[in-house]
Each structure stands twice: as C-alpha cells, then as structure tokens.
Structure 1
C-alpha cells in the first residue's frame, strides 16, 4: 500500500505521489480533490454561512424587540465609528477625551480596513457602513474557507468540517459579521498560515504584511511565519530557496511600517505609536492589569459579558495546552500562542479579549477532532452538542451586540 509523506512541525510539503511511503501519521496529507478544491468544502461553508446568518437575524430580532434600528448595530458599534470616520476623513481628524483625561486619537486604528472601505465606497453605490459590512462578510467567508483548507490539509474532511462549524459558533463569532477588523484580519492571517504550511513563502510573507496593516495582532502572524521559516532553514541546514528569506523579511513590514509612520506623526519615531495606544489603556503590562481585573471580578462579581470573557480566556489556555500535546505544525502553534500571550499580557477592556482570540482557530483543532470522532460513533450526540453550542453563540452574540453596553 502506498504510504503518505509525514508532515514536519513547521510546514506541510506538497504531496509527492511517487515518494516512498511510511505509516500514516497524525498530520498526514489527505487527498485533495481535483482543481485544488478540498472535498466537502461547500457543505462546510454552507454550515458556516447558515450559522452566521442566524446570528445576524438574532441581532436584528433583538434590536426589533428593544425598539432599536434593526441593522445599525452592525455598522455603527464602538470601534466601527472610528473606522468609518477614518474612511471618510482620513487620519488626524478625530479624537476623544477619556474619563481619565487621556487624549485618544484615531492613530490607534490600523489603516487597511478603512482604506478598503473608502475604495469600495468610491467605486460602488454603497454607504460607508454598507461597504464596511460587505468587506467584513466577504472576508469572513474567505477566512472560513481557509480554516477548512487547513483542517482538510492536516486531518481530512470530517475534522475540517467540524473545525469550520466550531469556529462559526465561538461565543463572540457575531463580531465576524459587524464592521470590525476581525474578519479581514482572520482572512489574511489564515491564508498566510496556509501558505507557510505549503512552503509558499512569498505569499505567506505578503499576506502577513497585509495582516499587520489590519490589526496590531498582525505581529502574531509575522512571528509565526518568521519562526516557521527559521525552523525550516535550520532543518535544511540553510539550503533553502531565496523565497523563504524574502517571505520572512516581508512578514513584519506591515506592522512595523504603520508603527513607524504613527511615530513619525507623533514626533517620537520608535515610541509614538505606543504612547497613542497607552492613551487607550492598551499596552503590554505582562498581565498586571488583567490579573487585577480577574481578582476584582472573582471577589465582587460582574456582568455576564465579563464572566463569559473570563471563561473564554481560561478555555483558550486549556485548548492551547491540548493543541501542543498534539504537536501541531510550528506555524499554527506560534500563531495561537502569541495571540494568547497578547491577550493575557495586554491591558485594556477585558470584555474585548475574546474578540482578539477569534482568529486563533488552531485552538479549536482538539475539539474538532473530538467532535468528528463523536459524529462517526454517536451522530445524534454530536448534533445535540453542536446544537447547544450554536444556541449559546446566537443568544450571547445578540446580547453582547444589541443589549450589553460593554466594549466589544
């Protein structure tokens, strides 16, 4: 029987049908359908679309019951207003004085999303809010397809479908369908990781650079691509193509470029961006602020949003440990690990931390494998578990978007 080439911990090589075979390993390559489309992608994406459409309808219904504008919540919530203002006016035209007296400026928001909003608003008869939502929804679909492709590449159709399904019902998955950067960042990050897995280093670096222009957490994508490239170079004793080094150099340029641009505008090239973020109470304090908040929450209680946020962060730590036990490809482990580190070590509103973990889909791989096994043995039980997760996601998504007053 022909054997499958085992997968390294840093990247997934292209299939080699004529290569000598070995017993299949945990991360072996499955068969890919002709024309490069993985088997079962359409049903998985249909599941994702149905769940997220149900989430949108849940928010609309909640707004209707509360007498609020039915769809305004999607395009004009919290940070959305800043992105729309930047798209319309550019940078340097909006600021806010916080209750603590800090001057919060629009330079804290990365430029790719508002630039795309402005471009789409220019060429299509759409309002800026409609353009923002269209970008977010399309990017969410592209990201979900990337999740499926990576899941299929590593574990096959069943686990890939479960992985996409679980990503669709994360507690804060509703934020993939509002005018926020999570969908755009996730799409760029996921496909950058896929390119790294397939040793397409120039694409991996270019997409990582774009991710770095979408969110500060683009640092996690760049770090993952660079780590995977260096590990591959070490394994090959330096005998690697020039594209690998070029991709590694490209990867951090988006994040670094914007940080330096803000620094130049502020008058402090290397520290200006971090001063801007500090005014938003967003800085890396090694978890001091998060620890104080958790202590206060446990001692004095808090709203549902903060309790759920704490549970999500705790679950992320557990899932990361389970993921590491499975020895995943290095690029996925580094990406998920850096995102968790940024969430744990960063200050700022604790209610926003689960949103920062939305792109960290590798954390769901252990759950997806378990759900796929359950489906094969006890399909009714798998449906009941997934149905319960879906209901929780829909109700909480509607609550956090249309009812709660906590920052998203």
Structure 2
C-alpha cells in the first residue's frame, strides 16, 4: 500500500513537471511566433531610429554638445540619472512664480521604475550610468514597437500593425524614444497591457498596469483601461476582481510613498504644484493656441500646438471607428491628462507620445493606399520628424 502511494505521488509530481514544461514550451512558441510576425516592423522601426539619431548627430557636430549629452543628460534625463545613481532626495531651489514665494523642485515628481531598472542593470553591465540608460531606452522602444505591432495586428491585421509601428516611429516627438526618458518603457508596458486586454488576459494586463503606474503618472490611462474593461466584462469571477484590485497598486503605491516622504497625505501633488503642474482643464493649451494665432511665438511652440490639435482630431477619428473599450478608455484618459494638466506647451507632445492608439485611424487608412503614396507619405513624415527632433534637442526648449 505504501509503495502504491509513493508511486502515485511520484507520478503526480512527474505529471506536474511535464505540465509546467508543456506550458513553458507553449509560451516560448507563442513568443517566437509573435516575434517572427513582427520582424519586418521592428526592422523598419530601427531604421527610423538610426536615421533619426544620425540626423541629431550631424546637428550635434555643429553645436558644443555631444550626442551622448543631447540624448542622455538634457532636461528631465538628469533627474532620472540622479535618482538611478543616488536614490531620491535631490531638490533644486526655484524662484517664485508671478512674484510668489520661492519653492523647490523635488525629484519625487519622477516615478521610480525607469531609474530603478537603470540602476539595477548598471550594476550588472560594465557600462556608464548614461550608457545603461540609453541602452534600456533602446531595448524598451523595440519592445514597445513589438507590442504596438501585436495590438495593431490583432485589431486590424498585419499590414495595419506594420504601418502603426512606422507611424509611431516617425512622430515629430519620436526623438524622445531615443533619450534617457521613461516614455519608451512606459509605451511598451501600455502596448502589451492593451494587447493582453484585447486578447482577454486580465491578470497579465493588470500586472503590466502596475508597472506602468510605477513609470509615469500617465499610468492612470492604462489602469483605467484595465479597471473599466474588467468592470464591463460579461463574465465576472475571481480573475476579474483580482484585476480590478491589482491594476492601481503601482500608481497608488507611489502616491502613498511620496506622501510618507513629504509627511503630507497629498505630498506628491504638492511636489507637482512646485513644478507648476496642476489640473487646469486645458487652459494652458488654449492660451498657447491663442499666442500662436496672434503670431508672436517660436516655431517649436507653433509645432507643439499643431501636434496637440492633430492629437485631438485623431482622437475623434479613433472614437468614430468604434475600437474596443480598452482602446477607447486608454486614449480618452491619456489625452485628457495630456491636455488638461498645466505646463509648457512644448512638453504636451511628449505626453501624447505613448498614445499610439490615436494613430490607428491613420494606419487603417494608409493600409489601403498604393505603394507610391505610402513611400511619399513616409518620406515627408521622416523629414519632418528628423528635422524637428534635431532642432529640438539642440535648442533650449524642454520636452
């Protein structure tokens, strides 16, 4: 009898091992199949990135800043690298706005996942901290392009998936995909979370939403997409409830931690106010549009207003096409935050960069176009994107 029990137990363990290996094998096959489908899209995306960075390199040779400085040390990149090297606790004194009291810019305004990954990888690789940051950005942008292709393909077919990736890689603000910024990592998490939602993998989507919520405050868009999709799910069960609970944990967890660090429950939002960031319901965008209409602004501000207006038009076109609920919620919340929060108009395009879903109408339209039309369209977009990016990073403007 004892021998029989031992035999049954051994057989059960063997069966579990075989089942685990089988699941692992299925997962590997799925990943490899997805990669083979996305190879052309990834090649086209990398070509866009190489050409864009090369254009910036040519411009940098005419300035007193190196390519590494332009991509790795400018603007917010310095804050992210500071967190990666020294942890949180940095602050700069700032003058008061409108004659008000002086305040402090604190690094608590920046979310921890990207600098945390940079720090962890830098301890494993024989590279400088900025080299590690740029490497992670490069890898993240490729993973993002892969996820964008996967989502576009499952929604409208492989051709649309390919065109969606190219359009995202040729956005005017696409140069940020090559900088020491978290936008590429954030977009990758959003893309794969939305793909998981569309393919009905709620738990996977919610876990990716946690990571997105630890990367950018715009993580609220993908968190909202997961929660609302779960709430509206036709079949409710343990997985649905778990997704609703899990998805906001990253975003809320960082808010709580920032509150503990500042000693105030709403400390994160106090920090953002010091950075002159608050909800203004689009007043800053309206004011910038008025200045552009008056004709007394720079070319960068004109382009930024045009990009925001184009984003709003694309949002309307997307909603008219009746995409899945997850895509609707993600796009609406992301645009609402990007437009409805105060800040310099030139940073608005960066907030819209993860909104690749806004490009779905354009990709589906171009999927019906002739090859010559596609070639001319992408040539024009590439010229605008590369020239805009090179001018932006070699100027004094902050994305």
Fold conserved (TM > 0.5)? yes
CA contact (8 A) 1:189 1:207 kept: yes
Cα distance in 2 between the residues matched to 1:34 and 1:194: 13
Equivalence for 1:394:
386
CA contact (8 A) 1:39 1:157 kept: no
Alpha-carbon distance change, 385 to 33 in structure 1, aligned in 2, over 3 angstroms:
farther
**Deviation by residue 1:297-345 (Cα, 9 ceiling, x = unmatched):** 3224211111111111101111111111110011011111111101111
Equivalence for 1:91:
88
Of 335, 338, 350, 1:340 maps to 335
Of 285, 288, 297, 2:283 maps to 288
**Deviation by residue 1:187-208 (Cα, 9 ceiling, x = unmatched):** 1111111111111111111110
The 4+ residue runs of structure 1 with deviation greater than 4 A are: 32-35
Equivalence for 2:227:
226
Cα distance in 1 between the residues matched to 2:188 and 2:134: 15
- Alpha-carbon shift at residue 218 of structure 1 (Å): 0.5
- Alpha-carbon shift at residue 98 of structure 1 (Å): 4.0
Normalised by the length of structure 2, the TM-score is 0.89
Equivalence for 2:398:
407
Cα distance in 1 between the residues matched to 2:106 and 2:297: 29
Cα distance in 1 between the residues matched to 2:89 and 2:205: 32
- Does residue 242 (structure 1) correspond to residue 242 (structure 2)? The answer is no
Cα distance in 1 between the residues matched to 2:383 and 2:288: 28
Of 316, 321, 324, 1:329 maps to 324
Of 12, 36, 55, 1:58 maps to 55
**Deviation by residue 1:263-293 (Cα, 9 ceiling, x = unmatched):** 1211111x21111000001111212233223
Cα distance in 2 between the residues matched to 1:187 and 1:38: 15
Alpha-carbon distance change, 104 to 33 in structure 1, aligned in 2, over 3 angstroms:
closer
Equivalence for 2:16:
none
- SS of 2:192's equivalent in the other structure is helix
CA contact (8 A) 2:94 2:103 kept: yes
Equivalence for 2:69:
72
* Matched pairs, number: 367
Alpha-carbon distance change, 392 to 300 in structure 1, aligned in 2, over 3 angstroms:
closer
CA contact (8 A) 1:60 1:71 kept: no
- SS of 2:105's equivalent in the other structure is strand
- Alpha-carbon shift at residue 129 of structure 1 (Å): 0.4
Q: Is the helix fraction higher in 1 or 2?
A: 2
- Does residue 297 (structure 1) correspond to residue 298 (structure 2)? The answer is no
Alpha-carbon distance change, 129 to 40 in structure 1, aligned in 2, over 3 angstroms:
same
- Extract unaligned runs of 5+ from structure 2: 1-28
- Alpha-carbon shift at residue 68 of structure 1 (Å): 2.5
Equivalence for 1:384:
376
Equivalence for 2:34:
37
- SS of 2:88's equivalent in the other structure is coil
Of 294, 297, 311, 2:306 maps to 311
- Alpha-carbon shift at residue 34 of structure 1 (Å): 9.7
Q: How does 1:259-298 map to 2 (within 5 A)?
A: 259-269=255-265, 271-298=266-293
CA contact (8 A) 2:147 2:192 kept: yes
How big is the alpha-carbon RMSD for the aligned residues of Structure 1 and Structure 2?
1.6
Cα distance in 1 between the residues matched to 2:389 and 2:142: 18
Normalised by the length of structure 1, the TM-score is 0.87
Equivalence for 1:349:
344
**Deviation by residue 1:63-96 (Cα, 9 ceiling, x = unmatched):** 0122432322110010000011111111113333
